[in-house]
Amino acid sequence: MKKNIFLLLCLISAIGFAQTTYLSSDFAAINEQFVVSHSTTGLVGNNFVQTGTNFNWNYSTLVPSTQETLLYQNPNNAGYKTVWCFFNGYIFNCNTQFNNNFNLATKLTNGLQIQGYGLTNLIDHLKLSTTLLENKMLGASITVGGTTVPIVASYQTPDIIYQFPIVYNGNYTNSNALSVDLTSLGVPIQYASAGQRTNLVEGWGSLTTPFGTFPNVLKMKTTVVNNITVTANGIPTQNTVTT
């Protein structure tokens, strides 16, 4: 079984005692970017389950196998605004409705294959508030008959990625639902996903990586369970994916 270790390091604010509190204002803003390192070597000898209070996680022996830049951009410039407004019937109030729903966007690192049809340039459209980070819409491009067209899929129930403030022992579960019907494009595919995201803040302390030591961090374990149904030519196929 292949295990992917994903470490996301963020600067976070400290309050007047040892534990750390992460606020929505500590999250990314438009045009901020981060280098994300993926490690497949140097994993032996590291225990990624260990946790506690005032804990020192030392992962200095990890070796980055690949690196990529994660950029948070203005959703108005992501390329899917017009399609979303047209799909929802917002003709004369497009700007207002779009900006009320989204204020951050970021590109998914991987494409998505649905029954042999590849979706590219996948962009998550997010809404960041003082209490929540919600994923509310997915924009993508699909090639049909040699022509690439943009499509949007709005969450019927937004995926709540984080609740703020994030503090030690925080533990919550939220449901989400997303569906997209490609039949109007001549592609006999319908995709539906209903799932739950559980976040457990299971430790606080300091973290050491090959890039330095970060003295005020929280350790969060996220478990996502998605029940996916893909209907191709009227025949449904169901699958449950746990990440």
Using CB atoms within 10 Å of the CB of residue 4, give its burial: 0 to 12 exposed, 13 to 18 middle, 19+ buried: exposed
User: What pLDDT score does 115 carry?
Assistant: 62
Give the angle 164-168-172 at the CA atoms, nearest 5°. 55
Q: Which of 51-65, 140-154, 165-179 has the lowest mean pLDDT?
A: 140-154
Q: Band of the pLDDT at 15, cuts 50, 70, 90?
A: very low
93 and 138 Cβ atoms separated by less than 8 Å:
no
With vertex at residue 241, the alpha carbon angle to CA 239 and CA 243, rounded to the nearest 5 degrees, is: 175
Write down the mean pLDDT value for the chain: 89
**Would the pLDDT of 70 be above 50?**
yes
pLDDT in tens, 125-150: 999 999 999 999 999 998 877 888 89
Residue 111 confidence class, pLDDT cut points 50, 70, 90:
low
> For residues 60 and 116, what is the distance between their CA atoms, to the nearest angstrom?
40
Tokens of 239: 């699958």
Residue 198 to residue 175: CA distance in whole angstroms: 9
